[in-house]
Amino acid sequence: MKKKILHIIKKKNKSKIVSLTAYSKNVASILDNYCDIILVGDSLGSVLYNYKSTREVSLDMMIEHSKSVRMGIKKSLMVVDMPYNTYRNSKEALKNAKKIISKTKCDAVKLEGGKKIYNSIQTLVKNKIPVMGHLGLLPQSDKTFKFKGKKKSERENILKDAKLLERAGVFSIVLECVETSLAKHVTKQINIPTIGIGASNNCDGQILVFDDLIGLNPINARFVKKYLNIHKQIKKAVSNYSKEVRKAQFPSKKYSY
């Protein structure tokens, strides 16, 4: 198993795993100094392209953004989301995962789901392709945005799937919008790290969409903490630029040849 993967696994119960999304080299090069994992998420569909769901994201789209992100990463583990309808069966999953890895040089891929994709995950792992799992809220298949773990059946299924994914060979599992006590229980019941998003600090690590974190994406989900209001700062900068151009103050001699 690759050293970077082992490093992530060894963090279980020892130190928190820091993870963020990136869709370009410039952002990735900044995050690389602070993150353990950088995910090229299919969330780029809504964040960058204004798609209604991640289902509209294509494999080629993920690959192109990932190629850019790869150029900005030196030390972090790079994971790429496999988009909707690219791992419907083992054969398709292997073909597309190989394509992602060969073209982007990423370290691992991420797939959403549990029992339904067990065989696909097993196939990838047997072919030495590292896989990150994803349980709880599944943006590629869930039609409504609701946290998971309120119902007894949901709790039982998520725990079963977590154990199943571990058996299949995933090196970590993202738990999205999972109720606090369930996230804690799942994290204790498996030997691989859990990465939470809207799943409390009981997980072994956390991930957020970078554009949400800096306040660029106008989202007000409960699990998003905005560490910066970059939208306001960009607005101010563009406003100052437009004023200077209209008054012929920019470019001055300093900015001219």
Q: Which domains, ranges and CATH numbers included, belong to the chain? A: 3-226 (3.20.20.60), 229-257 (no CATH)
From 13, 19, 144, 121, select the one nearest 77 (Cα to Cα).
19
Q: Which band of pLDDT confidence, cut at 50, 70 and 90, is reported for residue 178?
A: very high
What was the pLDDT predicted at 245? 98
CB-side neighbour CA atoms (13 Å) of 251? 5
From 71, 77, 18, 4, select the one nearest 207 (Cα to Cα).
18
From 126, 186, 177, 132, select the one nearest 156 (Cα to Cα).
186
Q: Which band of pLDDT confidence, cut at 50, 70 and 90, is reported for residue 2?
A: confident
**How far is 133 from 113, CA to CA, in rounded Å?**
7
Asked whether 23 and 68 are in contact (CB, 8 A), the reply is: yes
Q: What is the mean pLDDT of residues 18-35?
A: 98
Amino acid (one-letter) located at 42: D
Instruction: For 110, list phi and psi in degrees, rounded to 5.
Output: -120, 135
Q: What is the mean pLDDT of residues 37-46?
A: 97
Per the prediction, the chain carries an average pLDDT of: 96
Asked whether 158 and 136 are in contact (CB, 8 A), the reply is: yes
Q: What is the mean pLDDT of residues 21-39?
A: 98
Q: Which band of pLDDT confidence, cut at 50, 70 and 90, is reported for residue 235?
A: very high
**How far is 180 from 98, CA to CA, in rounded Å?**
36
From 96, 126, 103, select the one nearest 111 (Cα to Cα).
96
Q: Which residues are catalytic?
A: 176
**How far is 203 from 199, CA to CA, in rounded Å?**
7
What was the pLDDT predicted at 206? 98
Strand pairing partners for 206? Answer: 18, 196
Within the chain, residue ranges assigned H as helices are: 3-10, 25-31, 44-49, 59-70, 90-104, 118-126, 152-168, 180-189, 210-213, 230-246
And the tokens for 192? Answer: 């691989």
What was the pLDDT predicted at 143? 80
Q: Which band of pLDDT confidence, cut at 50, 70 and 90, is reported for residue 1?
A: low
- What proportion of the chain, given as a percentage, has pLDDT over 70? 100
Beta strands 205-208 and 17-21: pairing type?
Answer: parallel
Evaluate if residue 31 carries a pLDDT over 80.
yes
Q: Which band of pLDDT confidence, cut at 50, 70 and 90, is reported for residue 190?
A: very high
From 210, 219, 197, select the one nearest 28 (Cα to Cα).
210
Evaluate if residue 57 carries a pLDDT over 70.
yes
Q: What is the mean pLDDT of residues 74-89?
A: 98
**How far is 63 from 68, CA to CA, in rounded Å?**
9
State in Å, rounded, how far the first CA of the chain is from the last one. Answer: 54
Evaluate if residue 217 carries a pLDDT over 90.
no
Asked whether 134 and 163 are in contact (CB, 8 A), the reply is: no
